[in-house]
Amino acid sequence: MHRARHVPILLSGLLALASSVARPAAAGINLSWNDCGAFGSSSTPLTCTSNVGNLLMIVSATPTETIAQALTQETVIDIVTSGATLSPWWDMRASGGCRPTSCSVSFSFEPLANCADPWSGQALGGYDYAIAPIFEVPYWIDARIRTVCALPAHSPVVLEAGTEYYVCEIIINKAKTVGLGSCAGCTDDGTFTLDSVKISQPDGAPGGNPTYTTPDHGVVIMTNGPTPTLNRTWGKLKALYR
pLDDT tens readout for residues 181-228: 999 999 998 889 898 999 999 999 988 998 988 655 567 766 654 444
Interior CA angle at 19 toward 120 and 161, to 5°? Answer: 35
171 closest CA partner among 34, 22, 4 = 34
Q: Give a yes or no: residue 167 inside a domain.
A: yes
User: Which helix (DSSP H) or strand (DSSP E) does residue 140 occupy?
Assistant: strand 139-150
pLDDT in tens, 143-182: 999 999 999 999 999 999 999 999 999 999 999 999 999 9
Structurally, the chain folds into a number of domains equal to 1
Check residue 216 and give its pLDDT. Answer: 52
Residue 36 lies in a domain: yes
Q: What is the pLDDT of residues 187-198, one digit of tens each?
A: 998 889 898 999
Q: What's residue 49's pLDDT?
A: 94
Q: Is residue 168 part of a domain?
A: yes
Q: Is residue 190 part of a domain?
A: yes
Residue 53 belongs to domain spanning: 13-239
Q: Is residue 8, in this structure, part of any structural domain at all?
A: no
Residue type, 236: K
Q: What pLDDT shows up at residue 191?
A: 87
Burial of 149 (0-12, 13-18, 19+ CB in 10 A): buried
| Pair 39, 141: CB distance under 8 Å | no
Residue 16 dihedral angles phi and psi, to the nearest 5°: -60, -35
CB-based contacts of 169: which residues, under 8 Å, 6+ apart? Answer: 56, 57, 58, 59, 105, 106, 107, 109
Cα separation of 151 and 197, whole Å? 16
Asked, for residue 5, whether it belongs to a domain, the answer is: no
> Which one, of 97, 110, 233, 115, lies nearest residue 172 by Cα?
97
Question: Does the residue 4 lie in any domain?
Answer: no
- State the maximum Cα–Cα separation within the chain, in Å, rounded to a whole number: 55
More reliable by pLDDT, 110 or 101: 101
Answer whether residue 43 is part of any domain: yes
